[in-house]
Chain A
Amino acid sequence: MCYFSVPFIFLEQCIYESITNLIFLYLRSGLEEVFPDVRSLCILHSSSSLPADSFSHIPLLEHLYLDGSHLAKVTSGAFAGLPKLRFLHILVSSSWGGVNVTLEPGVFQGLSSLEELTLAGMSLALAPPALLDPLVRVRSLRVDRAGARDLGELFCLLSPGMEKLETLELPDSMVSSIQNGGCSGSNPWPTVLLSRIRILDLSGNPVRRVEPKSLSVFQNLSSLSLSMVDVWVGQLWGSGMGRVNKLYLSSYTLKQFTPSLSDLCTLVVKHGVESLDLHLALITAFTAEVMKRCGPGLRQLSVTSEDLSGMDLGFWTGTGQIQGLMMVLTKLTNASFCSAGGGRVWNLTSLILHENHLTEITTDQFSCMPLLERLDLSGNHISSLAHRALQGIPLLRVLDLTHNKISLLGEDDFEGLPALEVLLLEGNKISGGIAHGVFRRQHRLQDLSLGEIDIIYQLYLNMLFLGFPTKLQHLLIDTGPGTYLTVGHVPAPEFPMVLELRGKMIQSSDCENNMFPMVRELKVGEGTKFDCNNIFLAPYFLNLESFEFSANPEKFATPYTTINQLRKLKRLKLTNLNFSNHTDPSVTFRNLTELRSLVLINCRLNFLTRSMFTDLVSLRVLRLYSESPLILLEGVFIPLLSLSTLVFDQVDFRCDCSNGWLLDWADNSRKTQVVLLQRQQCIWHYQRLNFLSTMERLCQTEDDFLSYVSTTATVCTLLCLALGYRFLRWPCVVLFFRLRGWVERRVGRRWWRRKRRMGGQWEELIEGEEGEEVRYDAFVSFSSGDEAWVLGEMAPMLEEGEPRLRLCLHHRDFEVGKGIVDNIAENIYCSRRTVCVLTRRYLRSDWCGLEMRVATHRLLSEHSHRLILIFLEHISPFELSAFHRLAKLARTRTYLDWPQDEDERVTFWERLRRNIAERDADELHDPPEAS
């Protein structure tokens, strides 16, 4: 279960720490989507700068891990608004030597609660002077792989306000010489501050030289780590440092540091070292004689990665006060400390001989260590325990024999260990059998691991103990190729148990026993069979709360839909199950209403559907890992009401915009945080593409659709408006007037009737008005260019003859002070006829056009009004055709031409006079043919 192949160990840690309130995302899409109540945040920051106020909307943040592998600049105020932040880890580069990152002066402004600050892979050369001033509460400061050449680079950055600073770490840099060079500008190191430092870690630096008095500031260190290149240890005690509780010395690379034990002992004595760790150091003369010089102060000794195969195992007799001894990877072939000590008693409490070459444990091997409580012999080649091998250590509580070659567990092997609480035996191939009652003395046993059991086809659990240890809380049995597990008649355990079963075939013959119901946590691994009389075994663990099950997808044949009977289940992790063959996935997760966490790894599901998850109302965390393409159908996560974290470990999507719903859902669901979606890939044919970026590239369905709809609507509207205006305007106008007329007729008739009932006085009034309305016989519309003709010929001819006609001439009869338009309209409506004197000039005059229009309107609205056209000059159809209404009128109505011939003029005037004078009644019933 690995999240990344990249070396971000802390990130992994980050994931494990608190998966429920942890957010993990790229800082590309902005942090706005992070919930404000988040406490821990891991960020993969892919852009080159970190802007100000990046996190100010997450004020409760306590842990922040920032991986900015392309980071080149951190803006001032980037971490503003994080008053509760306690841990800040910034990884800039995983390479050695440090990358230059521009830090603006106020970068750490506002981090008043910060307790731990780690800067990894960032060079300190560009750091501004008062960079760390705001960090008043910081306790631990670690600068990894900074490429610093001098301690001053870090020390001079420290500000006097950091009163709580206790831990200072500068590992994996380039410091080759430890010296007190002061700070730039001939300032000294901040001595007061440094003297309070308790832990100083300079490991991973190629220290070649330690200057005298260079470490004199540190008088009371609890821990000091140094890596050396060929340095005489004597330089250390010359460095002037005071007491050091725990000293960790290592060689920078292999075999570069060869201190002699006597020098080390001098160091131990001089600085009161209680715990000495040596790593990769080549120590010569490891003998009791030399050890004597170390004095009684040394309590813990740890030697790792050194060849100590030829050492004097009696060295401990030299001091006698060592309580903890750890020799890891030291190629020890035997551990006969007791026999080498010549019968002396050693007050050792912890002995760790992990990863050595021990082949057996001989009789009374540890009998000289009566106080031993912890013995770790894991990772050796121990094949047999001699008779009474583990005698004489009655206080032993923890025995670790994992990963040895023990093949036989004899009846008396653990007889002398009555206090044993933890016994770890997994990783051994136990093929020689397990004696009945092998653990009969271990009544206090809480934790037992056993395996791998080979060729033992029947394992009777109660027979191992002959009296089941009721305090047992953790039991691991690795059954290897498989076995029949029989619990037998055992008393019910006192505490809820964790049961781990590994092995290919696990079958149980007594499924209903006292132990299974007490099991709260069950882990089953690599099984091809896990059943009880061919029925899936899991449902017999009635009170199971956590179940991890990993199977062989090819061979596991038992249907496991009965998982849905485990109603108390809170955690479920299924690995390598084969849903596609044997089990109906839609019912497997039914009834699991208590389930909080569901992990599905390679379960050969082709589809995740909504119906699968309908009952999982309490589910908080869902993790999906699938090597084969998995299709998430739309809406699959909707039934998961409590889902807060959805982790995509690896899900191969199809590169297809039909997955677009997932992005929308992830964007819009405020309760659920989708983790690691950024890392997913999608496949088509032979290419693997990043899922998110591909989808982002191609599937902006909303924008597409919106643009489509809006542009189509615009174009259609324009089309409809323009065409409608052109072709439907008049039909609509006519329809409107007809409708209005119809309504007026309907309503008006009733109104008329009512009015008649009221009396006749109204009628008279109306008649009077009507009579008054007609003031003129004819309104003459003419252009002022034709004034001469109108005044000189027309007016005299018509107004002086018999019957006398009243003409309305605009310059004569228009009311002074009234608007022209009003005058025109009123006078036309007060005249019985309108006479238009048409000339070219008339056509071009706007006012005349208006008069004409009013007259035409009246002609249409009341059928009574007559429009008489007089063509004073010849106007060709070509010219007239520009005036479409007039052309139409000229074509459809009769009109008069002003005759050029003098004789014809008499007839012209007569006809005109007759036309004007005709009564309305005649016009209505018998329209006279004018020409």
Chain B
Amino acid sequence: MDQRAPNLLDEALGLVDEEKTKPWPLSSRVVLVEDRVETSGAFVLHHLLKRALSPHSSNDVVVFLAFSQPFSHYDRVLRKLGCNLTAQRENNRFFFLDLLVSEFPDGDEGNRDGLVALYGKIEKLVSTSFQENKKCITIVIDDFSLMEVAANGATNYVLDFLRYCHALTSTFGCSLVVLNHEDIYSSIERPALILQMEYLADILIKAEPLATGLATDVHGQGVLFCESRWCN
């Protein structure tokens, strides 16, 4: 099977590149993936990982902030998709930050070590890669609601972190992919966090269950929203 055989998601995101001349089309873009309890949107992350780490583009680097699953899980999933994460990690193309047990308490005084230090780490990885002439750097966050829990609910704190990462997209031309759960915020009256994230995002991908219920072969439906200024 041709590894680059495009599917609808690729086409919608502009990832189809026959001549391999265009740069990574998600550069400087923010992608927000929203999912629900019934339908997980993690498959979009796996797919983007696979595309970002494909052998054709040896200049790509992925910085992965994992709050949800350990490395072994992604390793197995991507292996089935034809991508060897262990090898990519050794080649310094895939940086996996295991944040499953990390806590980021927000203190009033200067105890903001957690997220500030994390941002510093990311910024260092991104700028080093940029200086090494890596064309496309992708930062992936899986998933953002768990970062909120790690910060004990300090919404402004995590939003600041997100904005700083967003600033990296314009400074270094990297792309930012974030996964969050839309049904958590749908019952809040003014869900500031998700609204701000949707505002920052250039591309919004929603994974939803089928309106008609269960089906054997179809697991759900995806809706892709794209900011008009970026669409070609």
Q: Decide if A and B are genuine partners.
A: no
* Chain A residues within CB distance 8 Å of chain B: none
